[in-house]
Chains A and B, each alone.
Chain A
Amino acid sequence: MTDAPDGRDLMLAVSADVPGSFQTLVEVYETRVKAAVARSIRDSSSVDDLAQEVFLRLYKARARYQPTARFETFLYRIIFNLCVNHTQHSNRRRTWSLDAPLGGDDEDGSSFEPIDGRTSRPLEALEESERAKLVRKCVEALPDSQRQAIMLSRFEGLGYQEIANVMALSLPAVKSLLWRARENMRQRLQPILGDLGTGEGGGSGAEGAAG
């Protein structure tokens, strides 16, 4: 991505209706948008449709684009809003099966139940695919806002303020979200974390009040 044209300049060119600029923007950001969408929603079958919608909204918003912030913040705000709408729509239609006990609709994640330690295996015993499956299951069980915040932080490289801009939240709220997401994951991923063996043997001791 380092050799790619700057997103801000590209978007300014699109705003000015420079011929070919939008096509270039789609080419540069296609996989990035698809990847961000794929990480944000649960059903992979909708990724292409949502990515198309992202570019359509980007195009429609070209006249009101202000190059005051990073282009990526502007882009991720569109992606975030679309994915939140999509997830809410999916949640309304979703019927939970009996073998999918993980919650996630509660905002603070208080319904989180730690994985039974008796069935867990240490890191070295877990197959890579199983480990990834466990992590994905854990992330999907996070409340939507926590999942979005952790994804924006981990994969899109956004800082607190940028995440706050994307999610239309305050800075302390973002910190709190990230903290709670991390705590929820820490509890859920004890099978992976359990063998860190730092001598204390139980939790980070950093479970102070969030935010």
Chain B
Amino acid sequence: MTDRVNDLERVLLQDFVDGTLAEERLTDVSTLLGRSESARRFVAEHQVIWDALGDAYGEPDVRANAEFREHALALTLRSATPTQGRWRVAGLAAAALLAVIAYAWFDRGGSPLSDIPAADRNVVKYLHVLQNLELAETYGAELDLRGDFEIYRAFEGERDGEG
């Protein structure tokens, strides 16, 4: 029979020394420690390492001092609050400028009729009807293009001019 600790027992021991072992597993650990020299050695070594770490690092040479606190406060107040305020204003200004530019851009390019004299706008708007004028005159009634005939009448002069 080997005294080596298997993987499951190892996990058990690790939880035990790290203080995370579930209470109902304490009996298992107790049994393991009772029968296994390796397990006892593991726990003993852990304790020595933990104590040695405490001796070597437990009390770093650090002290509280007012200068540190004043500097920390000054640093936060200087770099956090004012900067936030400045960035907020800059962000709002940039957003407003962007909105104005975007509005101007879309307004300029949004309507293709905006550059045409008012009198010609309807001609362009209903150009597709005029292009199919012959078809509309022949089959308009059948195709229920009554609305478009109203338009033809409105463009009576234009049609004559074209001819």
Residues of A within 8 A of B (CB): 22-23, 26-27, 30-31, 34-35, 38-39, 44, 47-48, 51-52, 55-56, 59-60, 128, 131-133, 135-136, 139, 150-151, 153-155, 159-160, 175, 178-179, 182, 185-186, 189, 192-193, 196, 198-200, 203-206, 208-209
Residue of chain A at shortest CB distance from B48: A193
Are A200 and B39 within 8 A (Cβ)? no
Q: Does B116 contact A (CB under 8 A)?
A: no
Interface SS majority for chain A: helix
20 further A-B contacts with Cβ under 8 Å, apart from A22-B76, A47-B60, A200-B37, are A38-B61, A44-B61, A47-B62, A59-B76, A59-B80, A135-B57, A139-B53, A153-B18, A154-B50, A155-B57, A185-B49, A189-B48, A189-B49, A196-B45, A198-B41, A204-B42, A205-B3, A205-B4, A206-B5, A208-B5
Which A residues are CB-close (under 8 A) to B36?
205
In the complex the two chains form, what is the Cα distance from A150 to B49 in whole Å? 11
Task: State whether B79 touches A31 (Cβ < 8 A).
Answer: no
Bound together, the chains give a CA A40 to CA B20 distance in angstroms of: 23
Contact A56 B14 (CB under 8 A): no
CA distance A205 to B60 in the complex (A): 34
Residue numbers in A under 8 Å from B22 (CB-CB): none
Give the interface of B toward A (CB within 8 A): 3-7, 9-11, 13-14, 18-20, 36-42, 44-46, 48-50, 52-58, 60-64, 68-69, 71-73, 75-76, 79-80
| CB-defined contacts of A189 to chain B, threshold 8 Å | 48-49, 52
Known: A35-B60, A55-B72. A208 touches B49 (CB 8 A): no
Instruction: Please pick, from A22, A30, A56, A204, the residue contacting B5 in the complex, using a CB distance under 8 A.
Output: A204
Q: Which of B40, B52, B55, B79 contacts A56 (CB 8 A)?
A: B79
Also in contact, A26 and B73, with CB within 8 A (given A198-B37, A204-B38): yes
Instruction: Tell me if A192 and B52 are in contact (CB < 8 A).
Output: yes
Question: What is the chain A residue whose CB lies nearest that of B78?
Answer: A56
Q: Distance in Å from the Cβ of B7 to the closest Cβ of chain A?
A: 5
Residues of chain B contacted by A205 (CB below 8 angstroms)? 3-5, 36-38, 41-42
> What's the minimum C-beta distance from B19 to chain A, rounded to whole angstroms?
8
Asked if A199 contacts B64 (CB within 8 A), the reply is: no
Asked if B7 and A208 make an inter-chain contact with CB atoms under 8 angstroms apart, the answer reads: yes
Alpha-carbon distance A35/B62, docked complex (angstroms):
6
